[in-house]
Amino acid sequence: DTGVSQDPRHKITKRGQNVTFRCDPISEHNRLYWYRQTLGQGPEFLTYFQNEAQLEKSRLLSDRFSAERPKGSFSTLEIQRTEQGDSAMYLCASSPVAATNEKLFFGSGTQLSVL
């Protein structure tokens, strides 16, 4: 069990640029989640995949955001035309489909700074 891996750990970009983050879940986990955390707040749900199917998207996920999980393994989160308000920690989490509780395993996150 190598845990949930996220890349990069930090990203600094200029407003208007596109950025893409990658998440590698724990290998046997079918469910994958993206959350966003801003300073002084708890993580906020963005979207959720079961295998390659994106089953739910939050209202927070504007049309500038797109997430994919093409082969049901790793996932990418892309933000187009970044804005300063996008600056946050982007957290990925995974869980096994057979889980009877809602325990999520989180990665260390990607810290995005939009200048």
Partner 1 sequence: DQQVKQNSPSLSVQEGRISILNCDYTNSMFDYFLWYKKYPAEGPTFLISISSIKDKNEDGRFTVFLNKSAKHLSLHIVPSQPGDSAVYFCAASAKGGTSYGKLTFGQGTILTVHP
Q: Which residues bind partner 1 (CB under 8 A)?
A: 4, 31, 33, 40-45, 48, 55-56, 91, 93, 95, 101-109
Least distance from partner 1 to the Cβ atom of residue 114, Å:
20
Closest approach, Cβ 81 to partner 1, in A, equals 27
The phi-psi region of residue 55 (left if phi > 0; otherwise alpha if psi is between -120 and 50; otherwise beta) is: alpha
Closer CB to partner 1, 40 or 85, in the complex = 40
Closer by beta carbon to partner 1, 18 or else 41: 41
Considering the complex, what minimum distance in angstroms separates the CB of residue 95 from partner 1? 6
Beta strand spans in 8-109 (E): 10-13, 19-24, 31-37, 44-50, 53-57, 65-68, 75-79, 88-95, 105-106
CB of 15 to partner 1, least distance (A): 25
Cβ pair 41, 35 in contact under 8 A: no
Which of residues 73 and 80 has its CB atom nearest to partner 1 in the complex? 73
